Amino acid sequence: MDGELKELYTAILEGQRDEAKEYVEAALRAGVPAGEVLDVMVNAMGEVGELFEEGEYFVPEMLIAARAMKTGMEILKPELVGADIQPIGKIVAGTVKGDLHDIGKNLVCMMLEGAGFQVVDLGTDVSPEAFIAAVQEHQPDFVAMSALLTTTMPNMETTITALNAAGLRGAVRVLIGGAPVTQSYADKIGADGYAPDASRAVKLAKTLLG
């Protein structure tokens, strides 16, 4: 790995936002293909996920690494479009209706982007109708729903029912997560997968993409 790319990898691992931006710019100036720069960033975020699972990193470390990745991605995105590099998959994500919590959802979105997915983030308090409109518009591979309250969890089921009614359920895989959510709840409402944290959400999405 060249100097700039090695430095970029470390900057993301350590969550150094300004340095990540500089090293992406330097690598592109040096003629490194955008796809190669992206690979370095994706690999760095992969290690961040592993460190989290090993208990070396916690949510704050994951968050600052993901922010460094996002800063680098802002510079890289136009180059990737120019080089016609396709994302590995597309995800529509949001916190369900009635729920305004977004830290977990934001981290999942950033980690998914870091893994090479295109993410359409609908924000918080997202109604079933808004999820349906986004699926129709963006034709994603996945719908990812988050809930942080036991009182808003039923809106995950309502959204899946609405996707069924709209004839869209077969076109997307539904992933759910959030503090009160469990695998048994995912099974009960007919979701395709459940992840307890952002790192495993990425693994799950990649596995389901096959």
State the Cα angle at 24 between 50 and 120, rounded to 5°: 65
Each domain of the chain, given as residue ranges in start order, spans 3-82, 90-209
**Cβ–Cβ < 8 Å for 110, 67:** yes
The secondary structure of residue 177, as a DSSP letter, is: E
CATH code for residues 90-209: 3.40.50.280
Among 208, 166, 167, residue whose Cα is nearest residue 191: 208
pLDDT of residue 83: 87
Mean pLDDT for each consecutive 10-residue tract of the chain (210 residues)?
A: 89 97 96 94 94 94 94 92 90 98 92 94 98 98 97 98 97 96 98 94 94
pLDDT of residue 79: 92
pLDDT of residue 177: 97
CA atoms of 90 and 61, how far apart (whole Å): 25
**Cβ–Cβ < 8 Å for 138, 168:** no
pLDDT of residue 84: 87
Q: Which CATH number fits domain 3-82: 2.170.270.10, 1.10.10.60, 1.10.1240.10, 3.40.50.1390?
A: 1.10.1240.10
Per-residue CA distances from 95 to 15, 22, 73, 86, 147 (Å): 25, 33, 23, 26, 6
Q: How many residues does the chain have?
A: 210
Alpha-helical (H) ranges within 30-87 are: 34-53, 59-82
**Cβ–Cβ < 8 Å for 174, 163:** yes
CA 45 to mean position of chain CA atoms: 11
pLDDT of residue 46: 92
CA 204 to mean position of chain CA atoms: 11
Query: What pTM value is reported for the model?
Result: 0.88
